[in-house]
Structure 1
């Protein structure tokens, strides 16, 4: 394998391992050494790609968020055939390991001054992309008063459902809430 391809593969393994470690062990338990070991590379190789811990974890959350966004768009190549399915897929963004990892990063950033601006910028970018995807997949016309806020309310609700799911499996209640939001969005976006 050419050197550039090996480097790209190493970087990808590090990013995926970083998100998994952050989701499983939180900020305190996720060091560059732990991530490097999980990715099957040396600490030096990890630091070659990501000079600081902050570089590694913010890049990891951004990378996985972009991968999830691409996968979400691929689920609905023609847009919103079924709003309930789109809403359920959007809610799923906030109930998996990526959300858990991002949450650990947010909590760490609330206490670490050097991490806070990076995570704030990352969250703004990821939030804008999630909103853009939601608008596209739902076929929402944001020129209509209240539609932008309705879509943002959906994403805020999805984040809340993700938080509720952290401690216990909240699938039953979540399914009922998704069904109700589908009805509300059909009315609001009609």
Structure 2
């Protein structure tokens, strides 16, 4: 039996996917300064030339990686069927406490100091923020026509981001679980 080879288009798609996943892993593990195209290519097991074929600049690679993360996150959130608002609150907080958030955070910090990256990340973050808010409203069964509900949902997302930031330096799981539990009760009471 011979070796099965993928058509060129499929190989290209697989290579691109590996580069995006590797970029996220590198950014989460090494930050912006330690995440070069060469490092990402090595992680992905492809040549630097192959990486640059897909992503001509470092900024192209990392903004595409964060966009990829956002799409994956939206897909995962959209597939959730939480059993009640407390579980929805937990799922939303989980978005901000994992390696994907860590990677995005490194990109945000870099964007604050890299003019060529700043505009792209700001635009991407605005789109991701709107999509995350929309999904949160759906998961929580929130009616934003009721005064104050939009602010409660946004407050929940802001709180989740803050917990994600706290989690960067220390394993904040025990405190976070208590906070998330209380927020689940509060959100259910306000939206109920």
TM-score by length of 2: 0.95
**Separation in 2, partners of 1:106, 1:135:** 25
Instruction: Give the structure 1 partner of residue 123 of structure 2.
Output: 121
The 5 A counterparts of 1:6-21 are 6-21=11-26
Distance 1:116 1:139 in 2: 34
Count matched residues: 187
CA positional deviation for 1:75: 2.3
- What is the deviation of 1:141? 0.5
- Unaligned ranges ≥5, structure 2: 1-5
Q: Deviations over 1:32-67 (max 9, x none)?
A: 000001001111111111111000001001101211
Secondary structure of 1:150 counterpart: helix
Measured in 2, the distance between the counterparts of 1:87 and 1:2 equals 43
Q: How far apart in 2 are the matches of 1:65 and 1:165?
A: 20
CA shift for structure 1 position 187: 1.6
Residues 87-140 of structure 1, C-alpha deviation per residue, up to 9 Å, x if partnerless? 111101001111111111111111111110011011101111110110001000
Contact 2:55 2:61 in 1 (8 A): yes
CA distance in 2, matches of 1:127, 1:68: 12
Counterpart of 2:10 (choices 1, 5, 29) is: 5
How far is 1:81 from its partner? 2.8
Aligned Cα RMSD in Å? 0.9
Larger Rg: 2
The residue aligned with 1:98 is 100
Q: Structure 1 regions of 5+ residues with no counterpart?
A: none
Deviation at 1:169, TM superposition (A): 0.8
Deviation for aligned residue 1:186: 1.1
Q: Which residue in 1 is equivalent to 2:76?
A: 71
**Aligned residue among 20, 27, 31 for 2:32:** 27
Secondary structure, counterpart of 1:162 in structure 2: helix
* Structure 1 residue runs of 4 or more that deviate by more than 2 Å after TM superposition: none
